């Protein structure tokens, strides 16, 4: 069935047969190979490609080279076509083999969320009866939210909630919070344990970047205790920060709820507990009521097992 596209005051009809044939030509690398695959003559395919280009208003192939190559517009069209026909195959498979269908869960994780926390949050969804296939994307919140709005993601896990007045219509679901612990490697940990937290004054310290929610919590805690640690590094990525901490570059903060895992994974020692600062975690969804079984499992387990609820 043709798809009608409205652009300004003109109406353009996208012919899926022509799009399919363009996709096969691009994948096969030429009209002749595509013709053999589709059992169509080269002249028929060439005519259809020209008609598709006329509808798109742009050349989809660069014909100045000996070998047929996609133009910039052609590469864009191919990406969309690849997704369209890939989804088509998934639909056919799902309808023909409904019992074999694996539930898909697409999750965005902000780069400030510790990888161990992300795993602990997502883990309950992997235990769902019937199986689940998880797709994870990591980025900054502002780049994950458009993917949530376009339904590329089912959920975003973040250390900060979506702020009131945001252009995107989405909903915050508090998962819980963790107190903060301070860690360091080897001799530095031994030295900092004595007289903690006063021992942090002037001590080398690794901090999250200034926009990070934990950074703001730590800055307030330092001020409350009149502490001025020597900041030797600032990081957007929480895992990279801990690698530097593992190397003994400085002390660092992490969620108390996974203190044992941090000590074990990064071969560091627990220096002490920072009373006051909290790391909060939120699930952000496009729907007010959580419906996806994987998302429901994440939310329920986080509140009942992983965190102290907010």
pLDDT in tens, 190-230: 999 999 999 999 999 999 987 788 999 999 999 999 999 99
Give the predicted TM-score (pTM) of the model: 0.64
On whether the CB atoms of residues 298 and 124 are closer than 8 A, the answer is: yes
User: Among 37, 59, 61, 48, which residue's Cα sits nearest to residue 15?
Assistant: 48
Domains 3-96 and 100-175+282-306 are alike in CATH topology: no
pLDDT of residue 2: 46
CA 28-32-33 angle, 5° bins: 35
Please return the burial class of 27, using the count of CB atoms within 10 Å of its CB with bins 0-12, 13-18 and 19+: middle
**Can you tell me the mean pLDDT for 41-46?**
88
pLDDT of residue 63: 75
* Structural tokens at position 172: 């915050």
263-297 per-position pLDDT tens digit = 999 999 999 999 889 899 999 988 877 888 888 88
82-97 per-position pLDDT tens digit = 888 877 776 776 566 5
Q: How confident is the model at residue 103 (pLDDT cuts 50, 70, 90)?
A: confident
pLDDT of residue 12: 54
Give the start-to-end residue ranges of the domains of the chain.
3-96, 100-175+282-306, 177-278
pLDDT of residue 96: 62
**Can you tell me the mean pLDDT for 91-108?**
70
Q: How confident is the model at residue 187 (pLDDT cuts 50, 70, 90)?
A: very high
Topology of the domain covering 3-96: Arc Repressor Mutant, subunit A (1.10.10)
pLDDT of residue 264: 95
pLDDT of residue 99: 53
Please give the class, per CATH, of domain 177-278.
alpha beta
| 6 has pLDDT over 80 | no
% of residues, the chain, pLDDT over 70: 89
Which of 47-56, 82-91, 99-108 has the highest average model confidence (pLDDT)?
47-56
Topology of the domain covering 100-175+282-306: D-Maltodextrin-Binding Protein; domain 2 (3.40.190)
226-263 per-position pLDDT tens digit = 999 999 999 988 889 999 999 999 999 999 999 999 99
Mean of the per-residue pLDDT values for the chain?
85
Q: Which residues contact 102 (CB under 8 A, 6 or more apart)?
A: 130, 131, 132, 133
């Amino acid at each position: 069935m043709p798809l009608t596209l409205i652009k300004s005051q003109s109406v353009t009809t996208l012919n899926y047969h022509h799009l399919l044939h363009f996709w096969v030509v691009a994948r096969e690398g030429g009209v002749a190979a595509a013709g053999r695959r589709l059992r169509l003559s080269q002249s028929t395919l060439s005519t259809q490609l020209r008609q598709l280009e006329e509808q798109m208003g742009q050349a989809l192939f660069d014909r100045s080279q000996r070998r047929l190559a996609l133009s910039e517009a052609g590469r864009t069209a191919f990406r969309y076509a690849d997704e369209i026909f890939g989804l088509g195959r998934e639909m056919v498979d799902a309808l023909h083999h409904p019992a074999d269908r694996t539930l898909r869960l697409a999750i965005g994780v902000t780069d400030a969320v510790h990888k161990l926390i992300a795993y602990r949050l997502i883990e309950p969804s992997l235990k769902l009866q019937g199986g689940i296939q998880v797709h994870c994307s990591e980025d900054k919140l502002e780049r994950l939210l458009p993917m949530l709005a376009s339904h590329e993601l089912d959920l975003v896990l973040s250390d900060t909630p979506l702020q009131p007045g945001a252009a995107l219509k989405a909903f915050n679901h508090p998962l819980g919070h963790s107190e903060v612990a301070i860690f360091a490697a080897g001799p530095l940990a031994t030295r900092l344990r004595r007289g903690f937290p006063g021992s942090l004054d002037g001590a080398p310290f690794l901090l999250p970047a200034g926009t990070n929610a934990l950074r703001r919590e730590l800055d307030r805690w330092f001020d409350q205790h009149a502490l001025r640690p020597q900041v030797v590094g600032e990081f957007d990525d929480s895992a990279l920060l801990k690698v530097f901490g593992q190397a003994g570059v400085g002390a660092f903060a992490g969620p108390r709820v996974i203190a044992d895992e941090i000590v074990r994974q990064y071969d560091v020692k627990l220096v002490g507990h920072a009373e006051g600062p909290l790391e909060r975690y939120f699930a952000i969804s496009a729907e007010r009521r959580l419906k996806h079984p994987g998302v429901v499992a994440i939310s329920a387990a986080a509140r009942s097992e992983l965190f102290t609820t907010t």
